[in-house]
Structures are given as structure tokens and as C-alpha cells.
Amino acid sequence: MKLGTIERGTKLKVFEEHNGSAVSDEFDAVFRSYETGRLFTILSPGLYENYAKLHPKATLNIRFISGASLHNFKGYAVEKQHANGIILVEQATEISSVNRREYERDELRVKVKIYGLSEKKLHTSRFSWPEMIPDISDITYDVSAGGICVISNVLLNSKYDPYYLIEFALTSNEKDSFLLPAKLVRRSNYPRTKIGRYDYGFQFIYDHLPDAKSRVTRAILSRKLALR
């Protein structure tokens, strides 16, 4: 996905980041026009009204859905346009994409604890149970071999964002307990249900855990069978 291929009118979700952490709620926006190079404009009355509050070194985390894919990239707010609600933005990173339908998600409710994880620890093949207080301790909304969704009233704000360590157990069997690294690929304060204010989607990172994906798949099946 390239900046120039985003269609006018595409709905966006935008929030401000500083030092890798979210420092604002999410704003609704609409892609208005591709200008030139890495410049484009968005229409966002909420962000426009809060423009003066933006940190001078902050980035805008921008995401949108197109077909089966969730796209995400970062940009810098350049200036407010004269037209009300229009902001000129400069693209700061390339657009990354995740296929939302790669894994079937099951609405399984399990306890989950979520801890910030430094990027350098992503390369380890063994994790120990953290001693610190989790950033979120809640119940999953759905689970798949690809990741989990959590809908919570807690605003996730970690210096390690977007990387986290996810602790959960799918059955009472000790072999079905997991500590998995994950990347936060979706956040919204417009969740699909009213059980919480914030909607978070995490994608598991299996790069250095070759057997973990099959273990999660088997554990999900065991959990589903136990619920019948």
C-alpha cells in the first residue's frame, strides 16, 4: 500500500504518540487528498481543535482498513489549513499491513495480563513470568492463533509500545499456559461492545518460538471442545 493509492474519503483513526507511547485519545479522520511526495491532507475536526496541544516532537499514529487488511503508519502534523478541520500531514514511516482474516477468531473469554516488552527482548526464545504489575489485567474478547483482542476501560500507555508480553491460559492444563511476545496492531476508543472503553488488537510474534503457534492452536481447540 502506497500513500498515493489511498482513496479520498477513506476513514482513518489517528492518535498522538510521544517516545513510543500514546499521549492522546483516538480521533476520527478522513483521508482528503494526496498532495506531493510524502504530504497529504486529512479532515479531522477533533484533531483540528486540539492542534495547539500537540507535542512538537510527537508523531501521529494513523490506521485504516482496506478490504481484508489493516494498514498502519506514522506521520507528522505540518500545519492547519484555512478550511476548518483540514490538516496537512507528512508521512514519517512506510505503511505496514496486516491481513485481518488470516486467522479465525473465536470469542473466548480468558484472563489475560499484558506487560510492556522492550524490543531487544523480542529475540529471546524463553520468557519468565514478570514480577512487575501488568499494564492491563482483564478478559479477552476473542483469541486466535494469530493474536488476541482485549476490550478494557484501561488506557494502555507503555514506554515499550507497540511491543508487549501477553500472559494467558486457555485451559486448566499447565501446558496450555502461555507467555507470548506480541505487537499492538490496533487500538480504538470505539469498541465493538460496551464492555469497555478501549479496543486493543495484539498480534503474536512467533519468530523465535517455532512451536508456540501450534501449541496455541491445539489449546484453542481444547478450550472449544470443553465448552460444548
**Domain map (residue ranges) of the chain:** 3-99, 111-226
Question: Global pTM?
Answer: 0.59
CA angle 162, 167, 170 (to 5 degrees): 125
* pLDDT on residue 67: 72
* pLDDT on residue 195: 75
Q: 3-99, what's its fold?
A: Pnp Oxidase; Chain A (2.30.110)
**DSSP strand E in 68-110: where?**
69-80, 86-91, 96-99
If one counts every other C-beta atom within 10 angstroms of the C-beta of residue 59, the result is: 20
The top-level CATH class assigned to 111-226 is mainly beta
Find, among 195, 94, 180, 209, the residue nearest to 150 by Cα. 195
What grid cell was written down for 121? 527482548
* pLDDT on residue 192: 64
Q: Report the C-alpha gap between 99 and 79 in whole angstroms.
A: 33
The reply to whether domains 3-99 and 111-226 share a CATH topology is: no
Alpha-carbon dihedral 47, 48, 51, 53, rounded to 10 degrees: -60
**pLDDT per residue of the chain (228 residues) written in tens, 0 to 9:** 899 999 999 999 898 887 766 777 788 999 999 999 999 999 999 999 999 888 877 789 998 888 767 788 999 999 999 878 999 999 999 998 876 555 566 788 999 999 999 999 998 888 988 889 999 999 999 999 999 999 999 999 899 999 999 999 998 887 889 999 999 988 887 666 667 888 899 999 999 998 899 899 888 888 876 665
